[in-house]
Amino acid sequence: MEHLESTHTTPGEERALRVAAMDPAVHAERVQWMHDYVVSVHERYRGLDGGEPASYIPELAMVEPDHFGISVLTTDGQGNGVGDVGVEFSIQSISKVLVYGLALEALGRERVLERVGVEPSGERFNAIVLDEESNRPFNPMVNAGAIAVSDLVPGATPADRLALVLEVFRRYLGHPVEIDWDVYRSEKSTGNRNRAIAYLMLSKGIIDDRVDETLDLYVAQCSVKVTAADLALIGATLANAGVNPLTGEVALERQYVRDVLSVSLTCGMYDYSGEWAYRVGLPAKSGVGGGIMAVLPGMGGLGVYSPRLDHLGNSARGIAVCEDMSEDLGVHIFAPEDSWLTAYRQIDTPVPSPRGR
Ligand code: GLN
């Protein structure tokens, strides 16, 4: 796995060229417009206080439930953050996206597909269930699939495997990452469901006979500390053909970006995924820590943090914010209307007002 500078032009570089050719006053107006818009969405949902932080991992219940941050970053590196965008929380299931990409790079598409499918499960994220025909977990975004993917992470020792995972996270985030060891210990001491899933997969020959080691790796990847700003950067990196728009470093080989994004679109939001694809129409992943990371392909990334979860385990405010932003900005990937998306791509088109507000 060579990780050098990208040799392809990225969407961010293309946009940066168009921005450079733009009247600076018009550009400044657009930057201000986006900022005002993000502030308005934050205000709209600040009072939404339904749901509770996850508590099945006891340490997750210790967070400040009303923290709320929204961060947007374009593929050419223009950022907007409002609210608690610097507050750290554990990445949890959003790690599944990054480690899936790592496994694809290490083993290639076919070998990964032998172990983990790409079919939405329609089940809870922690269901103890495998595809009956193939014995594979349904997809890499449910716990079973993610544990099978963690088993595929190469390395001679447990420490080597964890170091590789953390190195991949560093490429997305542009800075070294740390594990929240309290969250890690809390999940390790309560994670019997994941243990059951892992032993079921061992019995079917889906994972190797090193269950404790693989579960430790999985729990460690879930316990990595991130902020809403970090999530926006992960999203912007995936939106930018796998190249981190702030550092220029390749976080994911370009050929695997589409695999990661299509599975995120169809399976990323637990058993809300179908409705999410319908309403929001963006590849995304949520975590029980309260984060949502969404990808606006070619355009940028969105990170929301608000730890009160709805009954499916998604951040309640996060879902509301993403639904509105998709609609207001017209960025549903299948929406054919003229929108902020068109304006974004063609820089010289006026930015339309957010729809319906
Ligand atoms: N570490 C958590 C678990 O395995 C991740 C779940 C999630 O964020 N949905 O239960």
Instruction: Give me the pLDDT at residue 339, please.
Output: 58
* Distance from the first to the final alpha carbon of the chain: 47
Chain centroid to CA 353: how far? 28
Maximum Cα–Cα distance across the chain: 64
Which of these three, 222, 242, 260, is where a domain ends? 222
DSSP class of residue 138 equals S
Q: Is the CB of 126 under 6 A from ligand 1?
A: yes
Structure-block tokens of residue 175: 């800075």
Residue 349 belongs to some domain of the structure = no
pLDDT per residue of the chain (357 residues) written in tens, 0 to 9 = 555 666 788 989 988 888 888 888 888 888 888 899 999 999 999 999 999 999 999 999 999 999 999 999 999 999 999 999 999 999 999 999 999 999 999 999 999 999 999 999 878 888 888 988 899 999 999 999 999 999 999 999 999 999 999 999 999 999 999 999 999 999 999 999 999 999 999 999 999 999 999 999 999 999 999 999 999 999 999 999 999 999 999 999 999 999 999 999 999 998 899 999 999 999 999 999 999 999 999 999 999 999 999 999 999 999 999 999 998 888 899 887 655 555 555 555 555 555 544
Nearest-angstrom CA–CA distance, 353 and 197 = 48
- Let me know: does 19 contact 29? Beta carbons within 8 Å: no
Q: Is the CB of 186 under 6 A from ligand 1?
A: no
Pair 57, 111 in one domain = no
For the chain, how many helices (H) and strands (E)? 14, 7
Report how far ligand 1's centroid is from the alpha carbon of 314 (Å). 11
Structure-block tokens of residue 35: 């900022």
Question: From residue 6, how far is each of 136, 170, 250 by CA, in Å?
Answer: 34, 16, 6
Q: Is 270 a catalytic residue?
A: yes
Instruction: Give me the pLDDT at residue 330, please.
Output: 83
Residue 4 belongs to some domain of the structure = no
Nearest-angstrom CA–CA distance, 169 and 102 = 10
Nearest-angstrom CA–CA distance, 207 and 351 = 50
Which atom of ligand 1 is least distant from the CA of 223?
1
Residue 100 belongs to some domain of the structure = yes
Domain span including residue 160: 94-222
Pair 152, 216 in one domain = yes
Helix runs in the chain, H state only = 11-20, 24-46, 95-107, 109-115, 143-152, 158-173, 181-190, 192-203, 211-222, 228-239, 254-267, 273-279, 316-329, 340-345
Pair 112, 197 in one domain = yes
Chain centroid to CA 21: how far? 32
Residue 281 belongs to some domain of the structure = yes
H/E element, 294:
strand 291-296
Pair 233, 84 in one domain = yes
Nearest-angstrom CA–CA distance, 7 and 16 = 16
- Let me know: does 147 contact 191? Beta carbons within 8 Å: no
Instruction: Give me the pLDDT at residue 32, please.
Output: 86
Residue type, 16: A
Pair 204, 249 in one domain = no
Structure-block tokens of residue 129: 């269930």
Pair 82, 99 in one domain = no
Question: From residue 71, how far is each of 67, 134, 228 by CA, in Å?
Answer: 13, 40, 6
Pair 230, 87 in one domain = yes
Residue 2 belongs to some domain of the structure = no
Each residue's pLDDT tens digit, 277-297:
999 999 999 999 999 999 999
Pair 230, 86 in one domain = yes
**Choice from 125, 219, 221, 224 to test ligand 1 binding pocket (greatest atom count within 8 A of CB):** 125
Nearest-angstrom CA–CA distance, 98 and 168 = 7
Instruction: Give me the pLDDT at residue 26, please.
Output: 81
Find all residues with CB under 8 Å of 105, minimum gap 6, and list them.
1, 252, 253, 256
Catalytic residue among 85, 99, 142, 288: 288
Residue 5 belongs to some domain of the structure = no
| Pairing of the two strands 225-226 and 284-286 | unpaired
Number of domains in the chain: 2
Q: Is 6 a catalytic residue?
A: no
| Residue 135's CATH number | 3.40.710.10
Report how far ligand 1's centroid is from the alpha carbon of 108 (Å). 25
Pair 69, 130 in one domain = no
Nearest-angstrom CA–CA distance, 39 and 22 = 25
Average pLDDT, the chain: 91
**Choice from 222, 305, 315 to test ligand 1 binding pocket (greatest atom count within 8 A of CB):** 222
Q: Is 96 a catalytic residue?
A: yes
DSSP class of residue 62 equals G
Pair 162, 237 in one domain = no
